[in-house]
A = this chain, B = another copy of it.
Amino acid sequence: MPEPYPSVWTRPQRPRREQPPLSREQIVSAAFDLLDAEGLDALSMRRLGTRLNAGATSVYTHVANKDELIELVVDRVYGEVEPPAADDPAGWYAAVARYAHSLRATVLRHPWIASVLSETGVAYLGPNVIRQNEAVLAAFEQGGFSLEAADLALNVVVAYVIGRSSAEAAWLAKLARSGQDEREWAARLWPAAEQAVREHPRLRELYAARRGQDPVAGRDAEFADGLDCVLGGLAARFSGAAQPRRS
C-alpha cells in the first residue's frame, strides 16, 4: 500500500471533537440498536465503534468489557417491561399476569436477549430488574402472600416466563437470521419433523393437529394457558394467608 504523501493537506487535520464525545449512555443505545437491527452476532466492538463515528477501541474508555456492555444493554431491555402497578384494583392475579405478558412481549421484541440471559443469569443487580422484582413482590403481598411465599411465587413466574419465551425467542432469532417467513420455515421443517416423530404416536398426533394453524396465535394462547395454570397453582397454595411448606 503506497504511503499517502505526508503533508498538511493529506493529514486528517483536526479530528474535530464534534460529538458530545462519547458516553456510556450513547454506547449502550448504539449497541441496543445494533442488536435489534442485526442480532447478536452482528455486535462486535469494532462495528459498534464505527457506528458511533469513533475508533474501534474508544469504547473501552467507558466500558470495561464486552460482557459489561451486555449487562448494561440487558438492563436497558428490562427497562421496557411494565412492572405491576402498586395496589392494582384488579387484584394481584391480574397484575402479575399483566407483568408476565409484558415480560414475554419484551423478550420477543428483542429475541437476541435469549442467547444472553442464560449467560448473565438474569443480571441480578441491574437497577431495572431489582425495581421490578420489588414491585412484583409487592403485588403478591397485596394478594395475601407472605414475603417468603411472594419470593417463591416471583421465582416461579419468572422461571416460567423466561423459560418459555427464551425458547420462542430462539426460534424467532433463527428465523430472522435465515430471513425466511415463519410458515415457509415450518413447511421446510415438516418432513424432518414427521420423520422424527414417526414412532411416537402422541407427538405425531399433536404435530398433525398443529399443522396449518396460525403459529403466532397458537403460541400466544399456549403461553396464556400455561400462565393460568402456574398462577392458579400459586393461588391455591398461598393466596389468603398460608405459608410455604418449608422454612
Most buried by B among A156, A236, A246: A156
| A121 interfacial by beta-carbon distance below 8 Å | yes
> Quick one: which of A192-247 are within 8 Å of B by CB?
192-193, 196-197, 200-203, 205-206, 221-222, 225-226, 228-234, 236-237, 244-247
A41-76 CB mask vs B (1 if < 8 Å, else 0) is 000000000000000000000000000000000000
Contact: B202 with A147, CB < 8 Å? Answer: yes
- Return 22 A-B CB contacts under 8 Å, by A number: A114-B119, A117-B166, A118-B167, A119-B170, A121-B168, A121-B170, A125-B193, A134-B203, A138-B202, A141-B202, A155-B222, A156-B230, A158-B163, A159-B167, A161-B163, A225-B245, A225-B246, A228-B237, A228-B245, A229-B233, A229-B237, A233-B236
A247 to chain B, nearest CB (A): 7
Within the complex, which residue of B124, B169, B221 is in contact with A247, where a contact is CB–CB below 8 Å?
B221
Complex: A54 Cα to B114 Cα, angstroms = 34
Cβ of A125: which chain B residues have Cβ within 8 Å of it?
192-193, 196
Shortest distance in angstroms between A242's beta carbon and chain B's nearest beta carbon?
12
When the two chains form their complex, are residues B159 and A155 in contact, meaning their CB atoms are under 8 A apart?
no
Interface residues of A in 114-136 (CB under 8 A from B): 114-115, 117-122, 124-125, 127, 130-131, 133-134
Q: How many copies does the complex hold?
A: 2
Residues on A lying within 8 angstroms of B by beta carbon are 114-115, 117-122, 124-125, 127, 130-131, 133-134, 137-138, 141, 147-148, 150-153, 155-156, 158-164, 166-171, 173-174, 192-193, 196-197, 200-203, 205-206, 221-222, 225-226, 228-234, 236-237, 244-247
Q: Quick check: B232 and A156 within 8 Å, CB to CB?
A: no
* 13 further A-B pairs in the complex, CB-CB below 8 A; given A130-B203, A152-B225, A159-B163: A118-B118, A118-B170, A121-B168, A127-B196, A134-B200, A155-B222, A162-B167, A163-B166, A225-B246, A229-B230, A229-B233, A229-B234, A232-B236
> Is the beta-carbon distance between B121 and A226 smaller than 8 angstroms?
no
Question: Chain B residues near A124 (CB, 8 Å)?
Answer: 193
Complex alpha-carbon distance, A166 and B57, angstroms: 33
CA distance A53 to B210 in the complex (A): 47
One of B117, B151, B156 near A118 (C-beta < 8 A): B117
Partner of A171, one of B121, B151, B170: B121
